[in-house]
A and B are shown apart, each in its own frame.
Chain A
Amino acid sequence: MLVALSLTSCRKEPLENKGNPHHRVCKTYSQQFEAVWAGMDQGYLFWDRDTVDWDERYEKYKPIFAEFDARPANKPVTIYEYNDAYIGLFEGLLDHHLYGRFYTPKGIPHGYCEATVRPGENDYRHSTDPDVERENQLKVLRKKAIPGTMLEYNPNSTYDIPGSYFCLIKGANDGELIAYFRFTNFFMVQMHQLYEYASNVVPDAVRAQAPAKAFYGPRYHEGISMEGAGYANNDSVVGIIIDLRGNGGGSVADLAPLIGSLAQTPTLVGYTRVKEGYGRLDYSAWSESWVDCPKNMHLKKAKPIVVLADIHSVSCAELATMLIKALPNGTFIGERTYGAIGGLYSGNATNIYHDLFYSGCFGDNEYFENGPDPYKNIFSYYVYTSTFHMVDSDHGDVEGIGVQPDIEIRYNKHLLESGTDNQLDRAIRFLRVGH
């Protein structure tokens, strides 16, 4: 009997089930810390690459949050202390989508604080506001565009999202043209779907569709494509510029019609994986990630394509950059992209993905979007983090590193403000002279 008992006691006991960190109700600072720490511990995708020692962070910050709980009423936790604690906890993590929002747990009678963390933002950034930068770039573009060819398409005005632009630029020889497309976001298909299905409730739906027809042709509703623009397949167009500078990303649904249509067949853009269990390194197998090529609406003949991107090209814009760079006729000019390439599902409707794949966003999305609701049981935290890990078609990791340009041309604020867009100029020169 003793032998039998000693045999079974040779094994470690399973962990205590403290509940899913996605749905935990937190009434103290310590409980909130435990939930957030556990959510990252089990659901963060990059533990095999990250240099942060998450167990060490636990040991360091657990007593800090415990001390917050022990504070007397006359010495509440300040917003600075609360911010410092969470910024320190998340500091240096690799996921460049990572964005946490935390609020004093419900049940704390005093000292309401809110903290946000974005560890990826510590990277290199431009000194100019992206909106100002885009306006300056557009001013230069208007001068380079062949008169009368500039089109603006903005289906997202309802949500105050900047539009997309098209124009023709002169090529090297007479009669030769360069087609220029600027996509400032990748919400187009999503917006189209919204307008198509909710035209009765979106007041400017009809107004939004009119420029779409002008921009993409009468078949725009079949998919926004290069052919729909009616230019790229024209024999006089000898090169194409896809400008993704300042593009903050969006939905992968845009990739096939907008970028996949630049190829002649579906393109393998990379590989993805998710979590498959409780352990930090319990990963699924890698699965291929293809970008479709719309059957009848794509570039029929391969032409030189330059993608322009910069540090403000994020997420889906980086995927698009990666895709064009992978094409035999594609060249990436500009500077490294932001490095938030991991795919992500967020929002109330898609929060189930944390339960499904044990990875990605967790916590109260309504709080994240709308702020605290005192009538709800859980509103105290939300962590926006990648649902799946993506690598490029050579299994090269770009998370936190960004896609690297074939020809590096750094952003130059002074040149741009004086009317020279050095990155666009290099792209035009490349297409005119071939290198």
Chain B
Amino acid sequence: MRMINRLPISIVRGLLLGWLAAVPAVLAAQEENLAEPRTRHFSIGITAGIDRNYHSVDMVYMSDMKFDKFRTGSVYGFRIGYAPLKWLSINTGAVLIQKNYHMDHVFEYYNLRYSLNTTMTNDYVNVPLELKLSVGRVVQIHAFGGVFGGYWLRGHRKGNTYSFSNERYFDVDEDWEFNDKRDNRIEKGFTWGAGLSGKIIDRIEVGAEIRWYYSITDIQKPYMQNLNPRYNTAFAIQGGLSYWL
């Protein structure tokens, strides 16, 4: 079970190291750009895409409860950027991102078989604050990294449950009822990634990027001593449109 928890960490480390290795190359390539001052400093934009969330949880001895490693969701929002230099900008904004997960609980005992499943759809609003390094003229390459804060806006669960008294399954399709004692709706974490962009007309730029939202806050409050932590890590592919003011 612990391997499940280790897997994304190794991926995260690898990708982060790759990203860090790319930064000096981007900086080295700035010599040409430095000579050219930036005439417009502020940009606003919209972004949309899909994400795959990894929900990290260790079920300890409950080995018949399986969590899907990755679950797809959507992400969209807006961006604001300030670029004091041609190759450096500071970005923020807000995205509505789904951090979904799925649980399968199959239990077999001689001729008994119970199969329960739940898909959780979770809407978060994430507000990143990041530094972006850019290189290139017609098509720019970016590498960026920073922090984000978030809030768990809404949850929805769909699946089934089993009623003992009726000895049958019931479908479940309901909004998640937040429990103030249990649910930690505030989220904090790190975000980083890389992308490409290019101007299509004078002030309008299109771009695409891949990014990670790596949460460092447990989705549960520490309401009990023996609590197993649960974390979200979302990998997103986003496209966007920016307008330079």
Contacts and interface: CB of A to CB of B under 8 A. Distances in A.
Interface string A1-38: 10111011011111101011000000000000000001
Contact of A388 (B112, B164, B216): B164
Nearest to A21: B61
Interface string B1-19: 1100100010011001100
Contacts of B17: 1, 4
Contact of B224 (A55, A272, A287, A352): A55
Contacts of A48: 179, 181
B190 A7 contact: yes
Given A4-B16, A48-B179, A272 B65 contact: no
A49 B32 CA distance: 67
Contacts of A54: 224
Contacts of B161: 273-274, 284-287
Interface residues of A, number: 50
Interface stretch (A207-215, A275-283, A324-332): A275-283
Given A11-B229, A281-B223, A288 B218 contact: no
Contacts of A290: 165-166
Contact of A272 (B61, B107, B165, B216): B165
A343 interface: yes
Contacts of B41: none
A305 B161 CA distance: 33
A345 interface: yes
A356 interface: yes
A352 B16 contact: no
A87 interface: no
B58 A14 contact: yes
B105 to A, nearest CB: 8
A287 B162 contact: yes
A38 B16 CA distance: 38
Given A55-B224, A280-B224, A287-B161, A14 B60 contact: yes
Interface in A346-377: 352, 355-356, 358
A343 B224 contact: no
Interface in B1-44: 1-2, 5, 9, 12-13, 16-17, 20
Contacts of B220: 279
Contact of A15 (B20, B58, B165, B174): B58
A4 B174 CA distance: 38
A390 B166 CA distance: 13
A58 interface: yes
A345 B162 CA distance: 14
Interface string B49-65: 00000001011111011
B175 to A, nearest CB: 11
B61 A17 contact: yes
A289 interface: yes
B107 A17 contact: no
Contacts of A345: 164
Contacts of B166: 287-290
B213 to A, nearest CB: 12
**Chief secondary structure at chain B's binding surface:** mixed
A14 B2 CA distance: 8
B14 to A, nearest CB: 9
A15 B107 contact: no
B163 A287 contact: yes
A291 B166 CA distance: 8
Nearest to B9: A8
A14 B5 contact: yes
A185 interface: no
A15 B226 contact: yes
Nearest to A12: B229
Contacts of B61: 17, 19-20
A284 B103 CA distance: 12
Contacts of A276: 103, 105, 118
Contacts of A337: none
Contacts of B170: 287-288
**Most chain A CB within a 10 A radius of its CB, from B5, B61, B225:** B61
B245 interface: no
B68 to A, nearest CB: 15
Nearest to A22: B61
A279 B228 contact: yes
A38 B226 contact: yes
Contacts of A10: 216
B172 interface: yes
A289 B166 CA distance: 6
A41 interface: yes
Interface string B162-184: 11111000101010000101100
Contacts of B118: 276, 285
A390 B174 CA distance: 19
A252 interface: yes
Interface string A82-117: 000000000000000000000000000000000000
Contacts of A1: 17
B20 A41 contact: no
Given A1-B17, A13-B229, 5 more contacts: A4-B20, A7-B13, A279-B227, A355-B107, A355-B109
Interface of B: 1-2, 5, 9, 12-13, 16-17, 20, 56, 58-62, 64-65, 103, 105, 107, 109, 112, 114, 116, 118, 157, 161-166, 170, 172, 174, 179, 181-182, 190, 214, 216, 218, 220, 223-229, 231
21 contacts: A1-B17, A5-B13, A8-B13, A14-B5, A14-B228, A15-B58, A17-B60, A19-B61, A41-B224, A41-B225, A58-B225, A274-B161, A276-B105, A277-B62, A278-B59, A278-B226, A279-B227, A285-B161, A287-B163, A290-B166, A345-B164
Interface of A: 1, 3-5, 7-8, 10-15, 17, 19-20, 38, 41-42, 48, 54-55, 58, 252, 269, 272-274, 276-281, 284-291, 343, 345, 352, 355-356, 358, 387-388, 390
Closest 9 CB pairs of A and B: A14-B58, A10-B216, A287-B163, A287-B170, A281-B182, A285-B172, A289-B165, A12-B229, A20-B61
